[in-house]
A and B are shown apart, each in its own frame.
Chain A
């Protein structure tokens, strides 16, 4: 809070006052979340420094249940008077929407957390300044500009940001949670054009932690490797096979598939239709738990407790201690991501999946770090299983329908596999496949795990939540590729 410009005790007092005022105004439940943001960002475009960006601020969001309806109001006018008015406004809004309420909102009885947590950091995030960020990006640019990575990059954009999110949460159920999340994020795009052929790669890296994140993820080397790969991709000319083959999804592909076609359709609010007009519903229904959707080898989880992860959220924004969620277990739909309201409807306890990205956003069900569980093969053994196939190491274009049944991933760095050996690159293979077919085709998984940072979009107003996606090398048997 201090870094955002507000004293901690003052924030706590306002949050308590907001809850108290909401209850007095007629709420049967009230919560208040003071959230402060401090951020520094620096960018290079084709080696040229862009204006530095600094953001600081804080505000309060108050959510209530009144007359069975949910109301949420937020402001950054941080006075006791304003906060009181916002609390009353949340109650008034909830009651006003009661006329179109068919089903009252009721929360589950999950034990409220009373704790303070912080994502671990070695080098304090507050020490990030423009000189440090400039140096990191200059190091990267210096390694890839002027064909130093073996390819002419006609477009190079790099951004580095250091962000601190601090929050204090109070609920009328008794939750009192203080959280501190430092995060370092990198975003970049590389465009290579040679001899009439063009390739493009977007790179996102990020972890919770301090300045040490840059070294821990090996950021400079990762970007250099990506640039080198662009040179190979430009030379790829082999067309993808048209017959039925085996596919190996690298960790990046395993992760995006886990996120898009397992994590999203297993968000309980989507299953119940709450996101129907925006992010959509789900091919799964409330009675789909226990349904066999994949092979015995299909195992996908979401874990907000992974240290250093981009989606590290050990206590969620409803004051519930979060835990690992086993989404698909042995091919069976095992668990949905739940908040307190959906948990009540499903007759279970919340598994702590409610997140809000800013003080002015209501908490909604979000993934944290979604991944295919590791198997017991080595990476080499996975490839040895393939007589004829394609290895998707990275991807560019991807999308999926709003029920999460029909998805597409277009390979960027992708190789033909011939009798267990990686052969030449294959140009833009398209995996366009239904969710049951994808997860029903999983034959084996490696022990080797990698994670990628991503920003997951959901909600209205939109909330971009930091997450990890990841997994091992995943072997899919008997797949026919599509075409661009």
Chain B
């Protein structure tokens, strides 16, 4: 698997993506797999171009650009399965790569296996590409500056963050005939502003289009948070009503979606094991995964096995309706794939939490003794099976008494278990936001969530 200089499949377009033909790459890989008599083969090739500008103390710290292409091949033979990826994309290298992979399977044990479906589907572009974002790198510094200026105007003193724009294309070809490609673009901004003392605020903007991107509003929120958090004090430990922003709620909801992966259920790392058809959340709570959804930039028309993606209800009116499946887990569960492969483990694409009918202001008025949390990080589990976790609030956090925000808070930790938390959701907001950032991998459309009885603790000093 060696190659000489200059014979790779693709070079760079000037200033753009790597120009390798993904369909040709897939075709070569699958033809080679068929020639060696693999039972099943999937070729999944990806190309990504991402630009990012990072900043701190209102100043650029680094400008990044990554252009990559990669081929992933899945082979099955007599119940043995292997997955391999390579960035060595010359035709000779790809042929050798597939042959070597096939040869290496001789030493493998039989794995959990389900064949690819007989008639593969044809897929076409499912939307979601904004051409203005394809070469966005030149505009990122200006957009970052707009966010920083907005923060300064709102009371932030110094801001740090990252603005990123990317385009990703994934193409698939399987021995069962599934074929197609799909592209996505996105632009995201994560800005954190700091003020006097420990005061800090946080803002996000995430969009699949430039038109839907609002760096000024993200900067304004971060700056206002930094101003509003001056003179924050630690709360008394105890149980509180907690109003979770879309940013915080998305982080916790993503862990629930992870628990809905049939792989997690099998592996003993899911709090949703054994609860199909049972109440696991408040009646007002709805959680759905979407392969393709307007505004979502996490999915595509097909999954990694060539099955069509779709909308999958995970929790519907508080009841657990289903797990996320690929072909292998579906066979084991005597169910059908939900189009969420992952060749090993099913995973969500874009999550949507159903909207409620309250405004933010109405939710605050409903609180007797509570805390508003706008951002969090470092969610860790004591036990994924029981769902016990804690998370660390950061940035804007405010004490609410008798329906009024009375003062900023810092230095606390929130703890709960996933099912108690979901079952204690009292209100959801009408307004929802797309969230994806350092602490939330899966793009999530999420409302504000008012939850009763969350445990708040503080450190021994």
Contacts and interface: CB of A to CB of B under 8 A. Distances in A.
A461 B441 CA distance: 12
10 contacts: A5-B2, A13-B5, A57-B86, A75-B66, A102-B59, A276-B194, A399-B379, A400-B378, A403-B198, A461-B66
Contact of B60 (A79, A100, A403): A100
A391 B110 CA distance: 44
A79 B5 contact: yes
Contacts of B5: 10, 13-14, 78-80
Contact of B15 (A89, A272, A396, A398): A89
B23 interface: no
Contacts of B390: 397, 399, 408
A254 B395 CA distance: 29
Please indicate which of the listed interface residues A156, A401, A410, A483 has the most CB atoms of chain B within 10 Å of its own CB: A401
B457 interface: yes
A45 B1 contact: no
B413 A406 contact: yes
B306 to A, nearest CB: 16
Contacts of A6: 2-3, 88
B11 A82 contact: yes
A430 B374 CA distance: 26
B111 interface: yes
Given A50-B111, A52-B81, A77-B11, A129 B104 contact: yes
Interface in B257-275: 263, 266-269
B3 A200 contact: no
A52 B267 contact: no
Nearest to B109: A49
A277 B164 CA distance: 13
Given A54-B83, A54-B104, A77-B8, A360 B141 contact: no
Interface stretch (A91-99, A289-297, A300-308, A328-336): A91-99
B392 A277 contact: no
A130 B62 contact: no
Q: Size range of the interface on A?
A: 35 or more
Nearest to A63: B62
Given A5-B1, A94-B63, A96-B137, A432 B458 contact: yes
Interface residues of B, number: 105
B459 A80 contact: no
B123 to A, nearest CB: 23
B411 interface: yes
B10 to A, nearest CB: 5
A44 to B, nearest CB: 9
Interface stretch (A66-74, A118-126, A378-386): A66-74
Which 9 pairs across A and B sit closest by C-beta, in order of nearness?
A155-B268, A276-B160, A57-B87, A191-B268, A54-B84, A102-B59, A93-B63, A399-B378, A51-B81
Interface of B: 1-6, 8, 10-12, 14-15, 18, 20, 50-70, 74, 81-88, 93, 97, 101, 104-105, 107-112, 137-138, 141-142, 144-145, 148, 158-162, 190-192, 194, 198, 263, 266-269, 343-344, 377-386, 388-392, 394, 411, 413, 415, 438, 455, 457-461
Please indicate which of the listed interface residues B5, B83, B93, B194 has the most CB atoms of chain A within 10 Å of its own CB: B5
A13 B5 CA distance: 10
A428 B459 CA distance: 16
A396 B65 contact: no
A48 interface: yes
Please indicate which of the listed interface residues A131, A199, A397, A403 has the most CB atoms of chain B within 10 Å of its own CB: A397
Given A75-B66, A131-B107, 20 more contacts: A46-B266, A49-B111, A50-B344, A51-B81, A57-B87, A57-B88, A73-B66, A93-B65, A96-B63, A99-B145, A130-B107, A134-B108, A157-B268, A191-B385, A275-B160, A360-B68, A399-B392, A406-B458, A461-B50, A484-B455
Contacts of B190: 277-278, 460
